[in-house]
């Protein structure tokens, strides 16, 4: 296995690992939203501005979970494609070697067709992998967008929390947890993007 | 890879082995080819490492599109881990292998090749006018295991039975049976698990008319050495590691 093939396997495998952490954090945001809603309800008019924010947070968490679920399915397809590409590359190299070793064998020429076919299959896989990576990067960008939106919501939450009197601390804690979660999502997804970007279709 | 024609009649048997380019840390194997006018059967075609030299050697005898059949005596990697590569090279081929191992062997990838499962009681492979018998050899050493008998050529291909692990320059036939015995003893005692399975197999193959006994490793036995081997194996206690 070449170093590039190893890196490709590692890059694809790391997506699933990074995204499972994103999934945990997105579920934490969802919980924070439920918690914030309960506090805002108790606070009544003092947290009036906070109430619609909790709905936003919840919606954002749900959408992130949905996006990550889809990306995970896509990552599995990408992993299978990587395995397939590896098998096709091994076959092509072995077929070429067989043709070379056959030298002046009576039927050496009959190896030309399998060699050509294996080469085309390998190139097909390589092209498809690059195409799929480009699409996956697009989906990861959508998750990044959600993370950025969550940070804006966290900033708004802090402002609204400051108006909430004795509920200030509780609501600020919610804003902090949303901000922290948004950071984590951003960092994990960014690592996925960096790992994959070298394989992007140019 | 060394090629030795061991039978020439209405069809041919060719033995392949002693590959000089083989990495030293993988076991040496014998592959056999049965060649008829338009078809070619590879018996225990070997591991993935061996694919290129084996294919190159076969091309001296048959074009790729006439390699129509593969046989795997059992599921070991030195027997058939090249399956995924044959699967991509051959467009119209069948793999005859124990039905019991189908789900296992498909891990090597078997998409274009048709898997023809051999039932426990054996069967046949028809190669144009040649009919080969698939002789049950279960637990010798694999729990689902078959040998191939050609009644015309009087050759019995015996997988791991009769094998010995020797160097790459080893002659293809046993020349001095008494001297050869010690090269086989530990192998058979260690790899064969069942004295009962051994006795049943010996009873079965004693009824066959055999000129050449052809194992997957080491040297082949011919003439009187076939009977000498069966007598020696009959008396040997196996499954000794427990």
Smallest CA–CA distance, residue B126 to chain A, in Å, is 24
Q: What is the pLDDT of residues A31-43, one digit of tens each?
A: 888 888 888 888 8
Contact A105 B60 (CB under 8 A): yes
The answer to whether B56 contacts chain A (CB < 8 Å) is yes
For chain A, which residues make up each domain, given as ranges? 3-197
**Complex ipTM, two decimals?**
0.93
**Reduced DSSP (H G I as helix, E B as strand, rest coil) percent helix, strand, coil of chain B, to 5:** 30, 30, 40
> Which of chain B's residues have a Cβ under 8 Å away from the Cβ of A120?
none
| Whole-angstrom distance, CA of residue A111 vs CA of residue A98 | 8
Both tokens of B83, joined, read 């399956």
A contact test, residue of B85, B92, B110 with most A CBs within 10 A: B85
Contact A110 B84 (CB under 8 A): no
Per-residue tens of pLDDT for chain B, all 242 residues: 999 999 999 999 999 999 888 888 999 999 999 999 999 999 999 999 999 999 999 999 999 999 999 999 999 999 999 999 999 999 999 999 999 999 999 999 999 999 999 999 999 999 999 999 999 999 999 999 999 999 999 999 999 999 999 888 899 999 999 999 999 999 999 999 999 999 999 999 999 999 999 999 999 999 999 999 999 999 999 999 88
A contact test, residue of B20, B57, B59 with most A CBs within 10 A: B59
Q: Is the peptide bond between B36 and the residue preceding it cis, with omega within 30 degrees of 0?
A: no
A25, containing H or E segment: helix A3-43
A contact test, residue of B49, B50, B86, B88 with most A CBs within 10 A: B88
Both tokens of A194, joined, read 């960096």
For chain B, which residues make up each domain, given as ranges? 2-235
| Whole-angstrom distance, CA of residue B42 vs CA of residue B82 | 12
Dmax (CA) of chain B: 49
* CB-defined contacts A:B, below 8 A: 67
Both tokens of B72, joined, read 């795997």
Contact A107 B89 (CB under 8 A): no
How many CB atoms sit inside 10 A of residue A76's CB?
Answer: 13
Tokens 């947070």 belong to which residue? A57
Q: In this structure, are strands B212-215 and B155-159 parallel, antiparallel, or unpaired?
A: parallel
Per CATH, domain B2-235 is 3.65.10.10: no
């Amino acid at each position: 296995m070449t170093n590039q093939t190893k890196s490709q396997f590692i890059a694809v495998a790391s997506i699933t690992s990074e995204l499972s952490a994103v999934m945990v954090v997105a579920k934490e945001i969802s919980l924070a939203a439920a918690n914030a809603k309960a506090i805002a309800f108790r606070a009544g008019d003092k947290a009036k501005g906070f109430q619609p924010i909790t709905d936003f947070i919840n919606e954002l968490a749900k959408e992130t979970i949905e996006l990550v679920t889809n990306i995970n399915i896509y990552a599995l397809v990408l992993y299978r494609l990587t395995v397939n590409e590896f098998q096709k590359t091994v076959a092509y190299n072995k077929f070429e070697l067989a043709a070379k070793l056959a030298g002046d064998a009576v039927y050496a020429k009959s190896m030309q067709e399998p060699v050509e076919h294996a080469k085309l299959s390998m190139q097909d896989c390589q092209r498809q992998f690059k195409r799929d990576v480009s699409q996956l990067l697009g989906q990861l960008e959508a998750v990044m967008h959600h993370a950025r939106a969550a940070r804006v919501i966290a900033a708004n939450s802090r402002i609204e929390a400051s108006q909430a009197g004795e509920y200030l601390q509780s609501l600020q804690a919610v804003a902090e947890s949303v901000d922290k979660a948004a950071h984590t999502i951003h960092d994990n997804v960014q690592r996925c993007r960096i790992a994959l970007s070298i394989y992007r279709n140019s | 890879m060394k090629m030795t024609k061991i039978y020439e009649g209405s069809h041919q048997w060719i033995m392949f082995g002693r590959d000089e380019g083989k990495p030293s840390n993988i076991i040496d194997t014998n592959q056999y080819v049965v060649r008829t006018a338009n078809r070619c059967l590879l018996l225990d075609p070997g591991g993935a490492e061996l694919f290129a030299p084996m294919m190159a050697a076969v091309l001296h005898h048959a074009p790729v599109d006439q390699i129509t059949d593969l046989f795997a005596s059992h599921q070991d990697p030195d027997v058939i881990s090249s399956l995924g590569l044959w699967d991509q090279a051959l467009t119209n081929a069948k793999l005859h292998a124990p039905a019991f191992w189908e789900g296992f062997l498909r891990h090597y990838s078997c998409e274009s090749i048709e898997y023809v499962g051999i039932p426990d009681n054996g069967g046949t492979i028809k190669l144009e006018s040649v009919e080969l018998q698939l002789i049950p050899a279960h637990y010798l050493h694999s729990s689902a295991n078959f040998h191939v008998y050609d009644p015309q050529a009087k050759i019995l291909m015996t997988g791991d039975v009769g094998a010995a692990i020797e160097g790459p320059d080893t002659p293809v036939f046993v020349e001095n049976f008494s001297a050869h015995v010690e090269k086989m003893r530990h192998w058979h005692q260690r790899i064969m698990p069942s004295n009962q399975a051994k006795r049943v197999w010996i009873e079965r193959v004693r009824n066959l008319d055999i000129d050449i006994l052809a194992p997957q490793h080491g040297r082949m036995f011919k003439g009187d050495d076939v009977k000498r081997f069966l007598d020696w194996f009959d008396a040997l206690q196996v499954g000794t590691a427990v």
